[in-house]
């Protein structure tokens, strides 16, 4: 389960500033990955306000050339889970292509899953789902914290799927 923070909202233009992930085995978090990434450009003020990540926090961080291979190794052999996964996976895919790294992991988008399971909700944002499932507060827009919360949200959605006798994604 992973999340990426960036300098903006375009995988083609903007840069990664943080990658966070948790590895889940047997329904339990067994490992964590967390790294700032030096984007080699200033972090826009609106992103700093949103993420609370500033230039001083990433200036000495490794560049994407070092962090992405470590992240891909962490995820190797896993099905990736992300909230609005096309965005996060798109960023990873674009960076991997630029660095000539292999990336073709299957992934699940929890936004789509939430729209199916929680059709009563008007919004399917991470903080809205955390409140909906009564999972408490978290440090929103920090990658590893978002990944940990998304893990708890995902577990809650799996329980809900089971209540509908859905045990395989192909049934969706």
Give dist(CA 84, CA 108) in Å, integer: 9
Give dist(CA 73, CA 103) in Å, integer: 10
| Integer angstrom CA distances of residue 34 from 13, 51, 61, 74, 156 | 23, 15, 12, 11, 24
Instruction: Look at residues 172, 9, 7, 11 and name the one whose alpha carbon lies nearest to residue 91.
Output: 11
83, 124, 137, 141: the catalytic one is 141
Q: What is the DSSP letter of 171?
A: G
Catalytic residue at 141? yes
Give dist(CA 76, CA 80) in Å, integer: 10
Question: Active-site residue numbers?
Answer: 141
């Amino acid at each position: 389960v992973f999340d990426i923070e960036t300098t903006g909202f375009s995988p083609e233009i903007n840069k990664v500033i943080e990658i966070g992930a948790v590895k889940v085995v047997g329904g339990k978090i067994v490992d964590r990955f967390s790294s700032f990434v030096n984007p080699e450009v200033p972090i826009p003020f609106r992103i700093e306000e949103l993420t609370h990540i500033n230039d001083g926090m990433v200036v000495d961080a490794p560049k994407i050339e070092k962090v992405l291979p470590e992240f891909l190794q962490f995820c190797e052999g896993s099905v990736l889970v992300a909230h609005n996964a096309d965005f996060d996976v798109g960023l990873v895919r674009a960076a991997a292509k630029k660095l000539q790294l292999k990336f073709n992991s299957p992934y699940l988008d929890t936004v789509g899953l939430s729209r199916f399971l929680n059709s009563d909700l008007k919004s399917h944002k991470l903080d809205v789902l955390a409140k909906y499932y009564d999972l408490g507060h978290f440090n929103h827009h920090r990658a590893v914290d978002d990944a940990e919360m998304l893990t708890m949200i995902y577990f809650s959605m799996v329980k809900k799927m089971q209540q509908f006798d859905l045990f395989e994604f192909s049934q969706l």
